[in-house]
């Protein structure tokens, strides 16, 4: 008898034999039982999950001589012809090779003729997304108003390429990928019927690399049988399919824990030398790291991973990693896999990424960084002297003017009154002169630097607005720096430093604004001082006043 691949030989022929699509099966069975059969269906999903298989079963159910019922009999003439692809009323069309408008027009012409031997005329179009735009447009009218007893079933792996006008005219069903347990169970059934000796670990390796596709898993099973014969072992499966085993992954993670970069590189080169798929190796490694992360965060990892064989090993290895470190490893490996697929230098990319993993440093939270910086030893510098702020103006100083000429003796003694210059108003008692303000603010910052170096770096993002006996006003250039300054005990530290340096009990005010020259009370005091100086200069440089001072021996007072 001619050999048939497992995907064809063990293809489901009834609803009950289809694996993993229970909801869709139940919907179609109910449609038959209630006589609510739609004129168009769209099946979408990844490859090898049963789209065209279910389309055939549905066509058999509708046209079974013994039916229609819940299941096709699969022995009547119509069922046999549909199964063998020989039925004139059920046509299966490949959309990839019949994607032109001419093929669709021929199909539309044939639709006008009724069924020959079946109840329904069924058109199954696989990979319908391959049809051209003109072909889709030619199909629209017929799809909207098909002849009686005519049924369209479309199948696609790329739903996003189907026009909305087609989607709106169909009942759409999304086929989900099969899980590993479902695939293993089906492969065990096939091996039992074929008389193949295989352990469950080998089947799990095959099912895992099927990635949700039953057909892919069955093809790999055929490949393993061709390599191993009737007795399949785990090592033979890994060799035949180029799979990296669980023990190799465990050894790799142990090397990562020990930071043994050379051993990890040698393991990659060894896998490449044995013909292993390095892209698959990287993907399996990323999945292994993901499992480690689940074990790390979960008190009951069995609820997430199920009855995992290596659960105890995972728990032991997870103790050597931080949660953030595992997240970092997974992101690196997932990006590496994508880069390897797009490059001819896949092995080099993998090796360099592994070197990055061995040198990776775990993430550190900002709060922890702040605490670390605050615990740093203060820089060795001589402590600044504590100075008290001067709140009064300096004592008046007399400006002596030398006498150039004596007055005549006959002249009467002049009045001893001195010409006085206009006196500027005194600055407020609580204001700090600019020179004192800047110098004492620098002393406050030096004091803070010795206690909290990180906070001193935050203060570089602000400017002093006001410093009085009751208030210290700082303006930050951005909101983030202000928020940092409000955290921890930084405000209290400012108060304590101001008390120790200035001997003032100040209230600290923090605001946000652009960097600019702010008109403070200090600026106003400086302005008054400048005006007084200008007046004094005007008086002293006036010739008449100078002559009067020389004659009468006067002085200019501030």
CATH number at residue 50: 3.40.50.300
Residue 309 resides in a domain? yes
**Angle, to 10 degrees, between the axis of helix 246-257 and the axis of helix 311-318?**
10
Q: What is the DSSP string of 62-85?
A: HH-TT-SSSS--S-SHHHHHHHHT
Report whether pLDDT(423) > 50. no
CA 425 to chain centre: 63
- Round to whole Å and give the CA distance between 118 and 459: 86
Domain CATH code at residue 205? 1.10.8.60
163 confidence band (pLDDT: 50, 70, 90): very high
Structure-model confidence comparison of residues 523 and 245, the more confident one? 245
Residue 505 resides in a domain? yes
Structure confidence at residue 297 (pLDDT): 87
Shared domain for 195 and 78, answered yes or no, is no
Structure-model confidence comparison of residues 119 and 422, the more confident one? 119
Number of domains comprising the chain? 4
pLDDT tens per residue, range 251-301 = 999 999 888 899 999 999 999 998 889 999 999 999 999 999 999 888 887
pTM given for the model: 0.62
Report whether pLDDT(520) > 60. no
363 confidence band (pLDDT: 50, 70, 90): low
Report whether pLDDT(426) > 60. no
Q: In Å, how far are 20, 73, 181, 207, 470 from 212, measured between CA atoms?
A: 10, 29, 10, 8, 72
Report whether pLDDT(381) > 50. no
Using a 10 angstrom Cβ sphere, with 0-12 exposed, 13-18 middle and 19 or more buried, the burial of residue 294 is middle
115 confidence band (pLDDT: 50, 70, 90): confident
455 confidence band (pLDDT: 50, 70, 90): confident
pLDDT tens per residue, range 216-249 = 999 999 999 999 888 888 888 888 888 888 889 9
Report whether pLDDT(401) > 70. no
Domain CATH code at residue 439? 3.30.300.180
Question: Percent of the chain scored above 90 by pLDDT?
Answer: 38
By DSSP bridging, strand 150-156 and strand 40-45 are parallel
Phi-psi region of 50 (alpha: psi -120 to 50; beta: other; left: phi over 0): left
Structure confidence at residue 221 (pLDDT): 93
Q: Which of 358, 392, 425 is the last residue of a domain?
A: 358
Nearest alpha carbon to residue 126 among 53, 175, 60: 53
404 confidence band (pLDDT: 50, 70, 90): very low
Q: What is the mean pLDDT of residues 348-359?
A: 91
Shared domain for 211 and 171, answered yes or no, is no
Report whether pLDDT(415) > 70. no
Report whether pLDDT(66) > 80. yes
Structure confidence at residue 489 (pLDDT): 79
Shared domain for 16 and 164, answered yes or no, is yes
Q: What is the mean pLDDT of residues 63-68?
A: 87
Shared domain for 477 and 507, answered yes or no, is yes
Shared domain for 134 and 53, answered yes or no, is yes
**Contact present, 379 and 449 (Cβ < 8 Å):** yes
Residue 418 resides in a domain? no
Residue 256 resides in a domain? yes
Structure-model confidence comparison of residues 334 and 427, the more confident one? 334
Shared domain for 10 and 107, answered yes or no, is yes
Structure confidence at residue 540 (pLDDT): 64
Residue 411 resides in a domain? no
Shared domain for 85 and 12, answered yes or no, is yes
Q: What is the DSSP string of 99-161?
A: -SHHHHHHHHHHHTSPPSSSSSEEEEEESGGGS-HHHHHHHHHHHHSPPTTEEEEEEES-GGG
Structure confidence at residue 384 (pLDDT): 45
CA 480 to chain centre: 23
Shared domain for 171 and 188, answered yes or no, is no
Domain assignment of residue 197, given as a range: 180-241
Shared domain for 205 and 312, answered yes or no, is no
Structure confidence at residue 393 (pLDDT): 44
Helix (H, G, I), strand (E, B), or coil: what is residue 508? strand
When the pLDDT of each residue in the chain is averaged and rounded to a whole number, the result is 81
Q: Which of 325, 358, 391 is the last residue of a domain?
A: 358
Domain CATH code at residue 271? 1.20.272.10
Question: Percent of the chain scored above 70 by pLDDT?
Answer: 79
Q: Which residues contact 286 (CB under 8 A, 6 or more apart)?
A: 330, 333, 334, 337
Residue carrying the six token digits 């085993």: 245
Structure confidence at residue 148 (pLDDT): 87
Shared domain for 206 and 252, answered yes or no, is no
Structure confidence at residue 431 (pLDDT): 46
Q: What is the mean pLDDT of residues 411-420?
A: 44
Residue 426 resides in a domain? no
Q: Which of 241, 269, 284 is the last residue of a domain?
A: 241
Residue 331 resides in a domain? yes
Report whether pLDDT(410) > 90. no
Shared domain for 102 and 21, answered yes or no, is yes
Shared domain for 451 and 337, answered yes or no, is no
Q: In Å, how far are 294, 398, 542, 557 from 536, measured between CA atoms?
A: 81, 12, 10, 9
Helices (H), 472-520: 479-486, 490-502
Residue 510 resides in a domain? yes
The angle at the Cα of 90, spanning 87 to 93, to the nearest 5 degrees, equals 115
Report whether pLDDT(391) > 70. no
- Round to whole Å and give the CA distance between 200 and 187: 10
Structure confidence at residue 547 (pLDDT): 73
**Contact present, 378 and 450 (Cβ < 8 Å):** yes
Report whether pLDDT(510) > 60. yes
């Amino acid at each position: 008898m001619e050999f048939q691949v497992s995907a064809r030989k063990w293809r489901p022929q009834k609803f009950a034999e289809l694996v993993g699509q229970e909801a869709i099966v139940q919907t179609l069975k109910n449609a038959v039982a209630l006589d609510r059969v739609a004129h168009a269906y769209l099946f979408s999903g990844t490859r090898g999950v049963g789209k065209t298989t279910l389309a055939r079963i549905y066509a058999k159910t509708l046209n079974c001589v013994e039916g229609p019922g819940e299941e096709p009999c699969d022995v009547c003439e119509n069922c046999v012809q549909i199964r063998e692809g020989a039925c004139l009323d059920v046509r299966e069309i490949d959309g990839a090779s019949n994607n032109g408008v001419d093929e669709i027009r021929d199909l539309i012409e044939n639709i006008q003729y009724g069924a020959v031997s079946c109840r329904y005329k069924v058109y199954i179009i696989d990979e319908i997304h391959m049809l051209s735009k003109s072909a889709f447009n030619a199909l629209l009218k017929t799809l909207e108003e098909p002849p009686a007893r005519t049924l369209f079933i479309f199948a696609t792996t790329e739903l996003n390429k189907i026009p909305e006008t087609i989607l709106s005219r169909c009942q759409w069903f999304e086929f989900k990928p099969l899980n590993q347990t479902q695939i293993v169970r089906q492969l065990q059934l096939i091996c039992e019927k074929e008389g193949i000796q295989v352990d469950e670990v080998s089947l799990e390796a095959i099912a895992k690399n099927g990635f949700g596709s039953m057909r892919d898993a069955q093809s790999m099973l055929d490949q393993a049988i061709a390599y191993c014969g009737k007795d399949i072992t785990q090592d033979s499966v890994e060799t035949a399919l180029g799979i990296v085993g669980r023990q190799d992954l465990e050894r790799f993670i142990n090397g990562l824990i020990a930071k043994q970069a050379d051993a990890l590189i040698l393991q990659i080169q060894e896998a490449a030398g044995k013909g292993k798929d390095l892209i698959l190796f990287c993907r399996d490694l990323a999945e292994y790291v993901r499992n480690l992360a689940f074990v790390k965060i979960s008190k009951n990892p069995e609820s997430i991973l199920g009855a995992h064989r290596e659960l105890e090993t995972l728990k032991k290895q997870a103790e050597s990693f931080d949660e953030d470190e595992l997240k970092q490893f997974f992101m690196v490996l997932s990006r590496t896999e994508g880069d390897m697929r797009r490059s001819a230098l896949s092995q080099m990319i993998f090796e360099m990424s592994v070197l990055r993993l061995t040198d990776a440093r775990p993430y550190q939270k900002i709060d922890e960084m702040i605490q670390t910086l605050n615990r740093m030893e203060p820089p060795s510098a001589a402590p600044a002297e504590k100075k008290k702020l001067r709140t009064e103006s300096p004592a008046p100083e007399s400006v002596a003017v030398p006498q150039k000429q004596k007055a005549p003796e006959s002249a009467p003694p002049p009045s001893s009154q001195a010409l006085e210059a206009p006196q500027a108003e005194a600055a407020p008692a609580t204001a700090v002169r600019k020179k004192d303000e800047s110098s004492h603010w620098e002393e406050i910052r030096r004091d803070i630097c010795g206690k909290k170096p990180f906070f001193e770096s935050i203060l570089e993002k602000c400017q002093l607005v006001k410093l009085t006996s009751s208030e210290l006003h700082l303006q930050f250039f951005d909101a983030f720096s202000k928020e940092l300054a409000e955290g921890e005990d930084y405000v209290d530290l400012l108060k304590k430093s101001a008390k120790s340096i200035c001997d003032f009990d100040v209230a600290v005010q923090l605001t946000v604004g652009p960097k600019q020259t702010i008109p403070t009370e200090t600026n106003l005091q400086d302005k008054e001082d400048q005006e007084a100086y200008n007046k004094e200069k005007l008086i002293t440089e006036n010739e008449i006043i100078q002559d009067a001072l020389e004659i009468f021996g006067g002085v200019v007072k501030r």
